[in-house]
Chain A
Amino acid sequence: EAGVAQSPRYKIIEKRQSVAFWCNPISGHATLYWYQQILGQGPKLLIQFQNNGVVDDSQLPKDRFSAERLKGVDSTLKIQPAKLEDSAVYLCASSPSSGGRVFEQFFGPGTRLTVL
């Protein structure tokens, strides 16, 4: 089965610009996650979707970050305007809603964002 797809792989922008990342989860996976991984740290959850509804966005900086998951499949994470501290790898993950691997998360390759 195809894995979690993300694009772009790399993005460099100036501070105060906007940027968007795209994620396509594994087919049939109901739950989708966006994590932020700052260099030298473990990933931190930004937002979790169950189908197209938000389950947890408690750590999403809502003044500048937004995310949507249209039709319960693909998802887009946007930053507007970007700050220097947003430089990080943004990881998308998905998990199934049933079956023996329901407690596992499958990760995409991530997008490395550099804000200058």
Chain B
Amino acid sequence: AQTVTQSQPEMSVQEAETVTLSCTYDTSESDYYLFWYKQPPSRQMILVIRQEAYKQQNATENRFSVNFQKAAKSFSLKISDSQLGDAAMYFCAYRSLGQEYGNKLVFGAGTILRVKS
């Protein structure tokens, strides 16, 4: 079974600075998707960024980018120019492409990001 580990329960960043959230995962599959979701206090899960495992190029979405290291099974999220609105819980998630695992998301435990003004 796949597992996702987020080793940082909490992180802090100064407004306008850069922060990196870590995620590692365990899988025997070669093809899969990885996601970062943001969950603000309102509880609405919002997709931040996704990465297809077959793509070597790291995904970017405006101020958000990932460092995907497939061999190391590492998938970190970098937030540049941090804003107060970035404060939330961030979840790393894995999605198998294999039929036997369906298409459920396997989530890490989350990292709380605090942004200081």
Contacts and interface: CB of A to CB of B under 8 A. Distances in A.
A45 B44 contact: no
B contact face: mostly helix, strand, loop, or mixed: strand
Given A109-B42, A109-B44, A110-B43, A103 B107 contact: no
Nearest to B93: A42
A89 B44 CA distance: 11
Is the interface on chain B under 10, 10 to 19, 20 to 34, or 35 or more residues? 20 to 34
B61 to A, nearest CB: 13
Interface residues of A, number: 24
State the main secondary structure of chain A at its contact with B: strand
Given A40-B109, A91-B43, 8 more contacts: A41-B109, A43-B91, A44-B107, A56-B104, A91-B45, A93-B45, A104-B47, A107-B44
Interface of B: 4, 33, 35, 37, 42-47, 50, 91, 93, 95, 102-105, 107-110
Q: Lowest 5 CB-CB distances: which A-B pairs, in order?
A: A42-B107, A107-B45, A45-B104, A110-B43, A56-B102
Interface of A: 31, 33, 40-45, 48, 55-56, 89, 91, 93, 95, 103-110, 112
